[in-house]
């Protein structure tokens, strides 16, 4: 924890005037100048003391948003607590630090009474996906006279994961995707139609669809699948080939993330297949979060192209082009092929 007490621009002028009055008082030996010099020096000392008291006994913490996408503004909450028993704090500025560098946005607290907590937020944009390290805070105040800037650095390390930017999908691709499920049917499989078979339970499945007798016999939870459930699973194949350029690869990652989010919004169980492996389809916001987390750290790789074990609904090529491969009508697949 570091403390600084540099004068402000007005403070430098006031300090120069104080030294000048002191020099004149010593040279001329006039009591009025000594009195004026003492008053000005006391103002500086009182400003330093009051600003120090204002910054003491403060606890600050972040309130991160649930989701952060690259290139999209987000609101980071800042909570400031005054744990002092009686003394309030005035005119407190809080700056967040990313990799040790302050963010240009600041949070300002005019008055924070004793034993009270106040919250505010700042808007910021992180340009790249991946992990970002927030290293601490800088608390500062010019209270009470604006002559001295008392600053205090607080170490508070927090790592945030920034998901890929959600790129715009071509209209032909949006038309070719399965239509949204009717209201009330977004979660869980259908229990209508002929029984098509049993499969292992996956996160997001409706527990009411578990076939308990077969589950007890096999020792694992099994879920009924009906013919009406055909087409409710969608696997997105992303060929993260290392031969593409950096800009084209980021475009491909962005469109893959947008495809996963759009399919999840339409009520489908979404999976992802890349050169590193395959994530089975599952329903729910938790599955979309898992896929976005994978795409936040995905990197170009060499080797064999991805080969999904399940029906793929779309393939995203390394240059960002999207091919619809299953589910939509043939006309839509032809229109969507090769669009960038």
In a domain, 295, yes or no: yes
Q: What is the largest CA-CA distance in the chain?
A: 107
Verify that 41 and 153 share a domain, yes or no.
yes
In a domain, 151, yes or no: yes
Verify that 88 and 12 share a domain, yes or no.
yes
Phi-psi region of 101 (alpha: psi -120 to 50; beta: other; left: phi over 0): beta
Verify that 98 and 175 share a domain, yes or no.
no
Verify that 106 and 10 share a domain, yes or no.
yes
Q: Count CA atoms within 13 Å of residue 316 on its CB side.
A: 29
In a domain, 314, yes or no: yes
Write down which residue in 128, 162, 196 finishes a domain: 162
Verify that 135 and 175 share a domain, yes or no.
no
Return the pLDDT at 96: 92
In a domain, 208, yes or no: no
Write down which residue in 111, 132, 162 finishes a domain: 162
- Residue pair 96/103 in contact by the 8 Å Cβ criterion: yes
Return the pLDDT at 190: 47
Verify that 7 and 156 share a domain, yes or no.
yes
Verify that 285 and 261 share a domain, yes or no.
yes
Return the pLDDT at 6: 79
Verify that 2 and 124 share a domain, yes or no.
yes
CA distance 322 to 284: 24
Q: How many CB atoms lie within 10 A of CB 137?
A: 23
CA distance 325 to 218: 34
CA distance 253 to 249: 6
Return the pLDDT at 292: 96
Return the pLDDT at 194: 45
Per-residue pLDDT of the chain in tens (340 residues, 90 and over written 9): 455 567 888 889 999 999 999 999 998 888 999 999 999 999 999 998 999 999 999 999 999 999 999 999 999 999 999 999 999 999 999 999 887 788 888 899 999 999 999 999 999 999 999 999 999 999 999 998 989 898 988 999 999 999 999 988 988 888 888 888 665 544 444 444 445 467 677 665 667 778 788 878 888 887 776 544 445 788 999 999 888 788 999 999 999 999 999 999 988 899 999 998 999 988 888 999 999 999 999 999 888 888 888 788 899 999 889 988 754 433 333 333 333 3
Verify that 248 and 102 share a domain, yes or no.
no
Q: DSSP string covering 144-189, please?
A: TTSSB-EEEEEEEEEEEEEBPP-PPPPHHHHHHSPPPPPTT-SSS-
Q: Which of 237, 313, 324 is nearest to 273 (CA)?
A: 237
DSSP β-ladder status, 2-4 and 150-162? antiparallel
**144: cis peptide before it, omega within 30°?**
yes
Return the pLDDT at 337: 39
CA distance 252 to 273: 14
pTM listed for this prediction: 0.74
Write down which residue in 130, 162, 194 finishes a domain: 162
In a domain, 191, yes or no: no
In a domain, 212, yes or no: no
In a domain, 223, yes or no: no
Element at 51 (helix H, strand E): helix 31-55
State which residues form the domain around 281: 171-181+232-336
Verify that 106 and 175 share a domain, yes or no.
no
CATH number at residue 109: 2.60.40.10
- Residue pair 182/149 in contact by the 8 Å Cβ criterion: no
Return the pLDDT at 200: 78
Verify that 108 and 236 share a domain, yes or no.
no
Element at 222 (helix H, strand E): strand 222-226
Verify that 151 and 175 share a domain, yes or no.
no
In a domain, 321, yes or no: yes
| Residue entry with tokens 């060499």 | 302
**How many domains does the chain contain in total?**
2
């Amino acid at each position: 924890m570091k403390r600084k007490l540099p004068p402000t621009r007005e403070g430098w002028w006031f300090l120069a005037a104080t030294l000048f009055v002191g020099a004149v008082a010593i040279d001329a030996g006039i009591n009025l100048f000594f009195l004026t010099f003492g008053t000005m020096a006391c103002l500086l000392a009182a400003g330093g003391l009051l600003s120090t008291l204002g910054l003491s006994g403060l606890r600050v913490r972040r309130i991160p948003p649930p989701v952060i996408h690259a290139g999209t503004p987000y609101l980071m909450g800042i909570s400031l607590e005054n744990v002092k028993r009686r003394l309030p704090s005035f005119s407190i500025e809080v700056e967040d630090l990313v990799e040790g560098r302050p963010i240009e946005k600041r949070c300002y607290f005019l008055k924070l009474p004793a034993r009270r907590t106040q919250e505010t937020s700042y808007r910021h944009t992180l340009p790249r996906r991946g992990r970002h390290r927030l290293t601490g805070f800088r608390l500062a105040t010019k209270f009470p006279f604006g002559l001295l800037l008392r600053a205090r650095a607080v170490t508070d390390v927090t790592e945030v994961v920034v998901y890929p930017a959600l790129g715009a999908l071509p209209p032909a691709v949006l038309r070719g995707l399965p239509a949204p499920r009717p209201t009330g049917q977004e979660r869980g499989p259908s229990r209508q139609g002929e029984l098509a078979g049993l499969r292992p339970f996956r996160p997001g499945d409706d527990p009411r669809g578990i076939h308990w007798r077969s589950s007890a016999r096999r020792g694992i939870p099994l879920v009924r699948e009906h013919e009406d459930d055909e087409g409710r699973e969608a696997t997105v194949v992303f060929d993260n080939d290392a031969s593409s350029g950096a800009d084209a690869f980021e475009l491909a990652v962005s469109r893959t993330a947008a495809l996963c989010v759009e399919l999840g919004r339409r009520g489908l169980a979404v999976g992802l297949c890349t050169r590193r492996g395959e994530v089975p389809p599952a329903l729910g916001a938790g599955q979309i979060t898992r896929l976005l987390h994978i795409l936040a750290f995905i990197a170009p790789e060499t080797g064999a192209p991805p080969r999904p074990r399940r029906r793929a609904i779309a393939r995203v090529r390394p240059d960002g082009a999207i091919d619809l491969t299953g589910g939509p009508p043939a006309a839509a697949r032809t229109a969507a092929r090769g669009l960038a």
